[in-house]
Amino acid sequence: MFELKYLDVNGHEKTWQIASRNARPKCVSKQFDLPDAVIIVPFHVQRNKLVIIREFRVPLGDYQYGFPAGLVDEGETVQP
């Protein structure tokens, strides 16, 4: 868990809390060259439709709809 401080467009200090698997979040380290997460956009050819999933999210206290996603572990690539 990280707590970052930044200035908004009006110059007011704000706090942002995030979780990261890295020693330093990418927004701090600026190491954006390697992806650590992916989103899959599945398409059902026979039905000519996008496929979405429905999953419960604790912070929402409800379900959300979206595309399947996952983390990329060290040594993995985003290529199939």
Looking at residue 61, its pLDDT comes to 94
Interval 31-74: pLDDT, tens: 888 778 889 999 999 999 999 999 999 989 999 999 998 888 87
Section 72-79 average pLDDT? 80
Cα distance between residue 36 and residue 33, in whole Å: 10
Q: What are phi and psi of 49, to 5 degrees?
A: -140, 150
Q: What are phi and psi of 69, to 5 degrees?
A: -145, 165
Looking at residue 56, its pLDDT comes to 96
Cα distance between residue 40 and residue 50, in whole Å: 11
Hey, what are 43's tokens?
């398409």
Q: Which residue has the higher pLDDT, 52 or 75?
A: 52
CB proximity list for 39: less than 8 A, separation 6 or greater: 67, 68, 69
